[in-house]
Amino acid sequence: MSEYKKITANSGLISLGNTGARLSDPRATYVKILNALVEFRKQNKNWETKDQAEFGELLGELKIFEIKTDNKVSSDKDVRLKTGFISQLGFTTEERIITKAGKELLANSLNFKTNEFEISNESFNYLTQFLKYQQNDFEVFPLLSLIFSIIEFNNELPIDFVTYVWSG
């Protein structure tokens, strides 16, 4: 018989983003951050503490985020915190270098074309990145396994399924 393990809100089973960047329009903001990175990378090739603080200044100049320099949290850490989601989803590397997926998102954000699923190409970029997402040291792709389980249970997942996980 398997043991059940309760999944708490802080278990990290699926943990995307953070509360450091509360946004009214995340999609538009992420594209603005990526565009700012394109400009920033023309002059700055590194992602050291000094470079992160400089990128924070650029985010402020572009009115994307106000990165304060007199907080308890240093400006470089604030930049990492507020740009972490685009890295988690694979639109940039951890060093905030734009990836192929990030370039596709930028290109698709310029128009409202839809694909054969009637999903905008921009939204489809997010969907594919979410489906590919995998937590460190976690053996399955959580969103794909959830979709599979929904299909297997004929869209009638018991509540225990989403609050417990079978331990190995």
pLDDT tens, position by position, 71-101: 777 889 989 988 988 998 899 999 999 999 9
**β partners of residue 77:** none
Instruction: Decide if 14 is inside a domain.
Output: no
Check whether residue 62 and residue 88 sit in a common domain: yes
**Total of domains in the chain:** 2
The reply to whether 34 and 95 lie within a common domain is yes
- β-sheet bridge partners, residue 166: 4
Q: What is the pLDDT of residues 17-60, one digit of tens each?
A: 555 566 677 888 899 999 999 999 999 999 999 999 999 999 99
Q: Are residues 52 and 85 in the same domain?
A: yes
116-157, pLDDT tens digit by residue? Answer: 989 899 989 988 888 887 666 667 777 777 778 788 888 887
**Same-domain status, 80 and 140:** no
Say yes or no: 125 and 139 in one domain: no
Q: 159 is written with which tokens?
A: 């509540």
Taking every pair of Cα atoms in the chain, the longest distance, rounded to a whole number of angstroms, is 59
Strands 4-6 and 164-166: antiparallel
Tell me if 127 is assigned to some domain: yes
Do 168 and 152 lie in one domain? The reply is yes
Q: Tell me if 37 sits within 8 A of 98, measured CB to CB.
A: yes
Could you tell me the residue range of the domain that residue 167 belongs to? 135-168
Q: At what angle do helices 26-43 and 75-88 cross, to 10 degrees?
A: 110
Q: State whether 129 and 152 are in the same domain.
A: no
